[in-house]
Structure formats: structure tokens, C-alpha cells
Structure 1
């Protein structure tokens, strides 16, 4: 089975570049460099209107962990209904309880709201306790997909757990995430037989801004006011070549 390359993007330009570099599918997010949050609906429409690729949308109300407040949960419900009605192919999301378990009650509500739209359990899975128990619960709930690095920063280091999950997938699609390098792909696939790979493959670039105020008033914490992050087409193309040349 041909391996599928799914690329996370947070700008329209990055979406175009990802397609040109060989992406099969896109995941739309906002603020990827900080882990990603829910994107703007107009970003979705702009990509949908110009690119003919399957589109998933991340629904996550804040950076960092996967707990959410009652108000944030209402936002998540509204966002899922919004992207469902807009024609998104899938939503990637996940909520954990404060003690690290899947928040089954609230995610059940999200699955009902999604209707026919595919629901994918996102990287909340990699932050949960008892991952194999959580995986079985997610299947029972009706999630159609899972994104995971095997609860490791690098998916290659999490390959044992990923292989076990794939053996028990029962039709659930498992997308491998987490700093996969092209030279690791062949060995990783031999161990896991995984067929879907997700990543963002970002690089730093200098801002096109020419006038640069010496005393910046809105400087980010890292001081990189004139640095932009964009899709690294060379890395995506290298991953595509590794996947096609196995």
C-alpha cells in the first residue's frame, strides 16, 4: 500500500508549498510553531477553494495541554459544527481529564456533532495515561483515526507502541507523527507497517518587512519579531522521495 503524506500547515502559502512538495493531504492549524490551535474558517475556505486535497482541521482551543474549560468546550462544539458545515473531510481533536484520561463524556458530544465527518483523536493521545486502554476506548467511541508518535517526541522511538496499536487497529487509521526523518522511514515502516505519516516540517525565514523599528513595541518573548515560520518544501520532498522509494 502506498504511504500517505499528511502535512500540517498554518498559512495559505504553506498549503500551496506543501502540495507542490508532494503532500497527499493537509491538516489546517493556527500557530504551528507553538503546537497548533484551531484555525480561522476563512483560512479553510481559501485553501479549499484553491487546492484539491483532502483537508482535516485541528480543533484545539489553546496552546499546551489538552484540558479545556467549559467555555472552551462550547467553542470546540461550535468549531466542529462550523467546519462540518463547511465541508471539511475530518477534524482532529482530543480532550483529557485533569488526571490524564480521555474525557469520554465531552468527546462523545463532539463525535455526535461531527455527524458524517471523520473524527480523529489527535495528539492528546500522546499525553494520556494508559495509552493502550485509551486506544481501545477511542475505537469504541467511534473515532475513525488516531495521530500519535507512540508517546515519544520522535516517532522512531515510539515505534514499539505504534506497531502494537496498528496490530489492533480494527479499521482505525493511525497516522504517525513526531519528527520522522526521511532516512528512518524504511526501517520504521518495516517494523510498524504504518501507511500514513503526518508532520509539519517547518523552517525559519526572514520577514519580508524592510522597515524595522529599533524599539519594537510588540516583540514576542523570543525576540524574533522579524522571523517567520514556513513550510520547508525540501524536507517534505525528501520525505516524499523516501516514501515513494521504499
Structure 2
């Protein structure tokens, strides 16, 4: 699987701010959700609830897995991924840094490409996520890129990984029952978990990823005194 129809690009609003990277660092603070690309500052619109629900669920699932297995670190926007080769400072919705790549992390940013980047599409980010960032992350060497579109009527997910030639290969979509990460050892998910109508409670999803049976999961829940409802909306 290497090809799939791409949404028609949409023109998105941008704030016409131009400044150096150093001026950008002075201008923004840790709560500012903006990106710097070759001298231009792009300020993001506040996301809708569906965007945040998918972001929270996937972030918690990845974070739980990565921490429990001591593989690395998971970050959400606004936290900078500085791509020197692209002359840009991006703030991906989610990115994961594992193993030796953690040496490029500081308190302020990731200096270089993360191992996995996830972007969740909003109505103003279609072209940015599917075209601009797609090309930028590929050239910079982000090894795995997920593009999730939870907008009403969409429920689309595209999972890319770098191939031997440095191009992004579409290796799975929302139509796949199970998607195995190309970069996080042993991690997999069911794309159906991303959508509100079929979202599995967070801990149940984690237990399934770890290979526990439904009976074992029920026993753990009984021991913990939880029903599964509390974490289903994480």
C-alpha cells in the first residue's frame, strides 16, 4: 500500500508576521501555539473539541506505553521540534522521541527530527499537515508520520514511514484493523480507537496492546475497582 487519494488543498489563514528565529523566541512564550518557518510565524487557531479528544486519547495511550516500557518521551504542543535542515521550528500535536535520539532533547525543544510525529487535522490545517509538513518531515528524516483527520464525516487516518530511499510510504490507513508502529518497539493500535463511537477505554487498549486477554483485563479492573468508564474519554 503506497498510494491514496489526497484531499484537495485548502487555503488557510495565516498571520503575516516575519521575523528572525531569535526574535521569534523572544516574541513567544511557553503557552504560545505558533510555528516558525523560514522567517514566517504561523499562529494556530484554537482547535475544536473533536481535535482535543483525539489528541488527549492518543497522547495518553502513547505516553502510558512509552513510560511503562522506559522507551523514551512523548510531547504534545506547544513544544518545539527544531529542524535545522528545514530552517523551521514546528510544534507537532504529538511527537515521540525514543532511545539514543533523546540526547537531542533539552528543556526548551527537540533539536532535530523526532522518531514519530502525529498531526491531527483541523479545518485550517489540511494543506499544512498533508503537504507542507509532510514534505518537511520527510526531508528532515522524521521516521514515522501519522496524519489523523477526526473531522465530522472524515474519520481518516494515514500512517507513513520512511522507506529505504527516504520517501514516505503509506503503510496503513483507517481501514486496517491493526496498525503496528514502525518506530516504537511493540506498539500497535486499532484505528477504530481514534473515533468517539468506537473508542476503547484507555487502560483496556493498553492491556490489549500488552497482550492481556479480556479475562485478565477484567480481573485487573476488579482489583483496581474500576469499571472502564472513567478512562474512556481520556
For the superposition of Structure 1 and Structure 2, which TM-score range results when normalised by the shorter chain? Answer: 0.3 to 0.5
After TM superposition, the score normalised by the length of structure 2 is 0.33
Q: Larger relative CO (CA 8 A, sep 6+): 1 or 2?
A: 1
**Larger helix proportion, structure 1 or 2?**
1
